[in-house]
Each structure stands twice: as C-alpha cells, then as structure tokens.
Structure 1
Amino acid sequence: MQRTAAARLSNILNTVSNSKRPLAVTNTGFQKPPRPVVGISNRMSFGIKTLGAQEAIELDKELMGSAGYSLDQLMELAGLSVAHAIYKVHPPSSGGRILILCGPGNNGGDGLVAARHLWHSGYKPTIYFPKKGKHEIFERLSTQLQGLGIPFTEDYKTALKETDHIVDAIFGFSFTGTTIRPPFDEVITAMKSSPLPKTSIDVPSSWDIEHGPPPSGPGEGFSPDNLISLTAPKHLVKYYKGRHFLGGRFCPPGLEEKYGLDLKGLYKGIDQIAELPRIED
C-alpha cells in the first residue's frame, strides 16, 4: 500500500508528543540506554548499521521530538545533502539540466529543497510534482522554487528527453507493498528506461526497504547509478551495487547510540555527505 504524504506526516506529527520511547534529558542532552543487539544481517560489511522501516520511522519521530528538530529543518538538511551528492557525481560541467521527479511524501520535499540548492550552485533544475502533499510545507517549498524561476512540468516524457541527470525523489522508506498507482507506475517505467544517469534519494522508488528491488512491476530491474541514504542506510542497501553516499549530518550522539549507529568520524571537515564503500558480490 502506498502511503500519502498527509498520512505519513500526520502519523509523525501526532505521535511526537507522546512517543512511547522518550529520551530522558541529562547533562549531555540524552539518556544513554544499553546499546541494542545488532544482528550481522543488519550491519553493512564495513560496520555501519542499517535500519528497517519501523526503526526509520521511530528515529524520525525522536528527531522531531526529544531532539528538537522541526520537519522544515530535517527537509532542509536532507535536501542540502542530496544537492552535495549530485554535485559530487554530476558537476555542472557534465550538463546542468537536472530533472527532479517528486512524490507526495517527504522524499518529494527533500527533492524540492535539493532543487533550490542546485539552482544556487549553477544548475538548471526542472520539477515534476503531479501530486503535492497536503502539508503546507510543500506549498511553501514550491513557492520558493517559483520565486527562482525554476519550472514545474506536467510532461515528464518530454522532460526526460531534455535533461542531463534524473533525481528520483518519488517514494521513500514509507513505501510498502507492490502496487504503484498512476501516474507513478508509468513515471518509474520511463525513468528506468532512460539511459541518463540517475540518483535516488534514500530509497530507489518501488524498492522494498527490507527486501530491495521488486521481482515484478514497474520497478523491476530498476537500479539507480547513485543512492544517497539519509541519516542511516536502510536494509535494502545490501542489494544495491552502485555509488552510495550517506547524508543527513544532524543525528545527535544520544540517538546514534540508542539506534546502534556508529557515525563518528565518518563525515570529514564540513562535508554534508560521506561516500560509502561499494558492496561487492
């Protein structure tokens, strides 16, 4: 089943204040509970833990609860990380036209923020955003892009032929099931068929967060050239063989420890992203 942005945002925002797992504030800012036992299947070969859907949802809730972040802040930092990753893999000299395919959930918001940062970095982004989320943040982000003259298109087929790089910001980790509703079923099929380089945000659209690529349907055989995981990689990355980045440099140490993450020293200097080793067969 495909969750809408409104459903996901409502779930997160309504449960932040009464989360069942609050962190007690201490002199370091967070309680330090015992480190959870992490199965080897949930840790990448080079030591970084991966998250499943429920853990990713709970971590989002705590970031917007005890950690004090707003949804705007998290989208801004995530979108900035995405823009940095795209600049790394596809500098403007490789072609400045960037098509960002946005869905109605948080991934779509991250894509809109990335578009703004890419414009300021010399790119020419175009947005395909057929189903805007109902939360007012999407309207504000769209207004910001319109103020920069960034075009929105309804013709993704033509846009796919008039770009240099495709950003997949359609579905995130809240996507479950195998049914992809219009228009995104045809959009994913067209994106998959394009020979252009592609970068997916957090989750390649249509992939299952636990089990990776779908065995059938529009996303069958889809694997982007680049993936930028946000906050922490998800379980699906064990099936991913392309270039892989981690972004979202905002998780406080208390939550890193609570969720078994070990990100200390991963980011260098003021970098917003860190490239992770490829997973070999």
Structure 2
Amino acid sequence: MSLRYLTAKLAQQIDEELMNAAGAFSIDQLMELAGLACAQTLATVYSRRRNQGGDGLVAARHLATIWMPKSQSPPKRLKTQCDNMHIQTIAPSSDVQPLRDALARSDVILDAIFGFSFQPPVRAPFDAALPLISQSGLPIVSVDIPSGWDVEKGNAVGVGLNPDGFKGRHFLGGRFVPKAMEEKFQLNLPAYPGFDQIVELPSAESSQKL
C-alpha cells in the first residue's frame, strides 16, 4: 500500500487536528518532535553537521547556526532555548553579508524558512536570502517542502530552493501521529524502525513525489 501525498489544505487540516482536543499536542510539542526528526535526518545523511534554521530552531539546538529573519511566539521560546545553548543566531538585516559568511562556514543547510502554506511573492529579506542559499553550492535539506515552492504546483514561479532530497532521497518524520488520525486520513504510514524518529522512503515512493 503506497503512502498518501497531501494537498496543502489537507496538511493544514491534519496540523489543526493534531493541536485540538483529539490530538492534544501543543504547538511547542509538535515543533520539538518535528525538529528532532529533522536533526536525526541530517545526522543520518551528513557526517559533518552544521545548519541554518519552530522545526528549524529545534534542529539547530541539536546541531548549530541559525539565520532567523523574524521572531514569533511560540518559536520565541525555542529561540531562547537556543540562546541558552550559546548557538549563534544571525539577526534580521538588510545586509546579507553575515548570512553569506555563515554559509561559507557551513556544510549543509536545513531549509525551514517556508512551509506548505507558502504563497508567493517572496518578500524581503527572503528575496535576497534564497538566491544566496542557492548559489552557495551547499547541500540543502528542506522541511515539509522546499522554500519558495507551492506544495501542489512545485517551483512554479522559479524562485524556490532545490534541495538534495529532490535528487532521490526523502525522509518521513511523524512517529507521533496517532493511529486514529492515520486511519481517518488514510495516511498509510510506514513502520518506524527501532526508536528512530524518521524513516527513509523507498526510491519508488520518492520518484512519485517529484
């Protein structure tokens, strides 16, 4: 039985249900679990682990440098946790040189800028950051969907990032998804091995996603 691929509307519905009385998760809990899965994916695929990065903030706490163009709540609490771990944060600025310098010191980029609800156009400071990230030549690992892409139409406007995963490797996180919700939305989730928070999808499944 193949996995089910989700529309943006259905993904949003599942997110909301995870956080309502049925799912009983707080947004911080979901970010913590998703961020841990992101960190485990990077650690699995790349031997040297630095990244730019709430899922990205959690992953950075496990791994390293953050480019965070704006603060929100509850991610602000996750940012404080990163500060407590003395993890470097590049503050928002019209000057892209600090981001350029951080990219030069990095080995891999964790793209957690936009999610599946992204709608163009790409506004400042992202309009300057995305080309810099693309031009860095570093491997990119995207969370949910590559930043700048439409979840159903792909990189239709041509401004999105092109992550390593779209060359053939996809990892699925979400071990925490309740069985009742899996059955309700017919997600057909694979088994997670051992105590892993992620599972790599077979290449045949990955090719269907392209």
**Runs of 4+ with >3 A deviation:** none
How far did 1:252 drift?
A: 0.8
Which of 1 and 2 has greater Rg? 1
Residue 200 of structure 2 is matched in structure 1 by 275
Residue 21 of structure 1 is matched in structure 2 by none
Alignment partner of 1:99: what SS? coil
Superposition pairs of residues 23-172 of structure 1, within 5 angstroms: 47-65=2-20, 66-91=22-47, 95-96=48-49, 98-101=50-53, 109-118=54-63, 125-133=64-72, 135=73, 137-154=74-91, 155-172=98-115
Query: How many equivalent residue pairs?
Result: 199
Contact 1:99–1:126, Cα closer than 8 Å, also in 2: yes
* TM-score (ref. length: structure 2): 0.89
* TM-score (ref. length: structure 1): 0.67
How far did 1:63 drift?
A: 0.7
Give the unaligned 5+ runs of structure 2: 92-97
Superposition pairs of residues 119-268 of structure 1, within 5 angstroms: 125-133=64-72, 135=73, 137-154=74-91, 155-176=98-119, 178-216=120-158, 218-219=159-160, 222-226=161-165, 240-263=166-189, 265-268=190-193
Contact 1:224–1:242, Cα closer than 8 Å, also in 2: no
How far did 1:67 drift?
A: 1.4
Alignment partner of 1:67: what SS? coil
Between the two proteins, what is the percent identity of the paired residues? 46
CA distance in 1, matches of 2:66, 2:133: 14
Aligned CA RMSD, in angstroms, stands at: 1.6
How far did 1:79 drift?
A: 0.4
CA distance in 2, matches of 1:130, 1:215: 22
Q: CA-to-partner distance for each residue in 1:137-161, whole Å, 9 max, x for gaps?
A: 2221111111111011142111111
CA distance in 1, matches of 2:191, 2:14: 19
CA distance in 2, matches of 1:208, 1:114: 23
